[in-house]
């Protein structure tokens, strides 16, 4: 079964259960100041859960573009090193907006996985929140008790962020070990035993003071990583071996004249790039721009990280923009914005690549000198000083996590406290410097922190910086 078919079967299944199939919200949550990127399918329904909005349907399903790079749900360090974390992924989800609750959510999840997709029932482990007897009893109608595991809040109480809708959850884990011995590996971050579906029983609101208040109605919010279920159904041991990532990896292999599967370091680089281009391209297609601040800087960091891995493959010219065509071929039917914005997405990525590649090489040399010097001096602390990290940031455009990543590969850590101090000083300085007169302003060059909104609107609110 192809990934396209799997996605469609999920949507068809929930359509047959009277769900409205809705479009993915943009991965950039325009208008939501609390959230940098859409990080879960439920984001677009948060207002309904909180009683502040309504829809003309009570059940919905979709595939949602999600980004998890910063904030509460942040998987960046794992990406590409392991085989199942991504900065950008699709979350298949079904929602009850004050309609059905645990019984149906559990029964339908089980029906889809075991009747429609015929997954081996012995390979499915269920986790439930430690005090959720109701969920436990409902699951016990389908699964032997020894496949149900009670866990604490860390794993089984889902929250969207520091504030917002939340509730106990129940996860379905797939045991991919050869001899079905994976029970003890549930929630252990093991590549063979992975969470595939999370059913959240939304019933509370986390408030800013940390307290929980009951919501007026109870809701269901489920999320299944498309890349993970495709991996299971395509019988692969890595998400990257599926038909979602292989077209990208094949293109990277072709461009770098390397073969995937021959060398671990090259494989990681190919996986990282194939992941990162999806995050960057879909974010730009949804109206964000790489920049020096906020979410724009997250996009820039991810792109620069990707470029460093491309360089490891011997690719020293702009290359990531060349992968966007693969995404256009794969996703135009389900996410038409990638086709609509294709030209501009390529142009923006290529421009970013060109500008960073001007300083990448020399910054890497500089970092190499810093590390080599410390090693020659038998520096046992193995710390890249905050001053050096700041210089790499300021003069060569190295995001802190890029310096940290390269340092880690050589056994070094970064003095982040000092780095952050220097960053703050610089921000204070530029804030003070921006209090200039009109004539000074008109002669200066400014690095405006902007967000391009032209894909969605022809008129936009703006701030007059100088008058």
The residues of the shown chain that bind ligand SER, judged by CB under 6 A, are 40-42, 93, 158, 198, 200, 221-223
Distances 82 to 239, 276, 327, 379 between C-alpha atoms, Å: 9, 14, 22, 31
- Picking from 167, 208, 161, the residue whose alpha carbon sits closest to that of residue 38 is 161
For ligand SER, the closer CB: 64 or 330: 64
Minimum gap (Å) between residue 206 Cβ and ligand SER: 13
Instruction: Provide the H-helix boundaries in 377-463.
Output: 386-396, 400-409, 416-433, 438-443
For ligand SER, the closer CB: 46 or 349: 46
Minimum gap (Å) between residue 40 Cβ and ligand SER: 4
Cβ–Cβ < 8 Å for 119, 224: no
CB closest to ligand SER, residue no: 223
Minimum gap (Å) between residue 64 Cβ and ligand SER: 9
C-alpha 265, offset from chain centre:
22
Minimum gap (Å) between residue 389 Cβ and ligand SER: 33
Distances 367 to 134, 308, 431 between C-alpha atoms, Å: 56, 13, 29
For ligand SER, the closer CB: 173 or 322: 173
Minimum gap (Å) between residue 223 Cβ and ligand SER: 2
Provide the 8-state DSSP code for 24.
P
- The neighbour count for residue 6, using CB atoms within 10 Å, is 21
Q: Which residues contact 178 (CB under 8 A, 6 or more apart)?
A: none
C-alpha 300, offset from chain centre:
14
Separation CA 191–CA 324 (nearest Å): 28
For ligand SER, the closer CB: 86 or 251: 86
Minimum gap (Å) between residue 153 Cβ and ligand SER: 14
For ligand SER, the closer CB: 41 or 296: 41
Minimum gap (Å) between residue 276 Cβ and ligand SER: 21
- Picking from 405, 93, 359, the residue whose alpha carbon sits closest to that of residue 223 is 93
Separation CA 12–CA 108 (nearest Å): 13
């009747």: which residue's tokens?
115
Separation CA 197–CA 378 (nearest Å): 48
C-alpha 276, offset from chain centre:
9
Minimum gap (Å) between residue 66 Cβ and ligand SER: 8
């790489």: which residue's tokens?
290
For ligand SER, the closer CB: 223 or 363: 223
Cβ–Cβ < 8 Å for 147, 123: no
Cβ–Cβ < 8 Å for 300, 352: yes
For ligand SER, the closer CB: 86 or 308: 86
Handedness of CA 30, 35, 36, 40 (dihedral sign): negative
Separation CA 341–CA 136 (nearest Å): 47
Element (H, E) at 369: helix 342-376
Composition of the chain by helix, strand, coil, percent to 5: 50, 15, 35
Minimum gap (Å) between residue 185 Cβ and ligand SER: 20
For ligand SER, the closer CB: 171 or 266: 171
For ligand SER, the closer CB: 47 or 339: 47
Minimum gap (Å) between residue 164 Cβ and ligand SER: 11
For ligand SER, the closer CB: 158 or 260: 158
Minimum gap (Å) between residue 193 Cβ and ligand SER: 17
For ligand SER, the closer CB: 29 or 41: 41
């Amino acid at each position: 079964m192809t990934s396209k078919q799997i996605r469609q079967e999920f949507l068809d299944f929930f359509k047959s259960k009277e769900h409205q199939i809705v479009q993915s919200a943009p991965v950039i949550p325009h208008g939501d100041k609390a959230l940098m990127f859409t990080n879960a399918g439920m984001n677009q329904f948060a207002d309904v859960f909180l009683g502040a909005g309504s829809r003309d349907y009570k059940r919905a399903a979709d595939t949602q573009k999600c980004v998890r790079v910063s904030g509460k749900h942040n998987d960046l360090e794992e990406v590409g090193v392991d085989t199942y974390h991504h900065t950008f992924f699709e979350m298949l989800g079904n929602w009850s907006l004050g309609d059905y609750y645990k019984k149906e959510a559990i029964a339908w999840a089980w029906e889809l996985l075991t009747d429609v997709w015929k997954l081996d029932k012995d390979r499915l482990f269920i986790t439930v929140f430690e005090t959720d007897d109701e969920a436990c009893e409902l699951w016990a109608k389908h699964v032997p008790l020894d496949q149900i595991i009670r866990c604490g809040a860390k794993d089984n109480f889902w929250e969207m962020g520091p504030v917002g809708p939340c509730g106990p959850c129940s996860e379905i884990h797939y045991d991919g070990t050869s001899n079905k011995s994976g029970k003890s590996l549930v929630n252990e971050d093991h590549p063979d035993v992975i969470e595939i579906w999370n059913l959240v029983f939304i019933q509370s609101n986390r408030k800013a003071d940390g307290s929980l208040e009951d919501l007026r109605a109870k809701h269901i919010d489920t999320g299944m990583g498309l890349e993970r279920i495709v991996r299971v159904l395509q019988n692969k041991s890595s998400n990257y071996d599926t038909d979602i990532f292989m077209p990208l990896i094949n293109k990277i292999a072709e461009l770098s004249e390397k073969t995937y599967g021959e060398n671990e370091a090259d494989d990681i680089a190919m996986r990282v790039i194939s992941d990162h281009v999806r995050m960057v391209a879909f974010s730009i297609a949804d109206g964000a721009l790489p920049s020096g601040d906020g979410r724009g800087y997250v996009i820039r960091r991810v792109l620069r990280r990707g470029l460093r891995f491309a360089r490891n493959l011997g690719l020293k010219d702009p290359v990531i923009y060349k992968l966007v065509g693969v995404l256009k071929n794969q996703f135009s039917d389900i996410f038409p914005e990638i086709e609509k914005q294709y030209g501009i997405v390529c142009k923006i990525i290529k421009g970013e690549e060109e500008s960073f590649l001007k300083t990448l090489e020399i910054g890497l040399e500089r970092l190499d000198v810093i590390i080599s010097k410390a090693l020659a001096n038998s520096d046992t602390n193995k710390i890249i000083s905050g001053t050096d990290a700041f210089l790499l940031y300021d003069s060569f455009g190295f995001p802190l996590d890029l310096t940290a990543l390269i340092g880690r590969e050589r056994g070094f850590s970064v003095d982040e406290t000092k780095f952050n101090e220097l960053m703050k000083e610089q921000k204070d300085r530029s804030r003070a410097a921006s209090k200039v007169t009109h004539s000074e302003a008109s002669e200066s060059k400014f690095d405006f922190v902007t967000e391009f909104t032209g894909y969605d609107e022809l008129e936009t609110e703006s701030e007059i910086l100088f008058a």
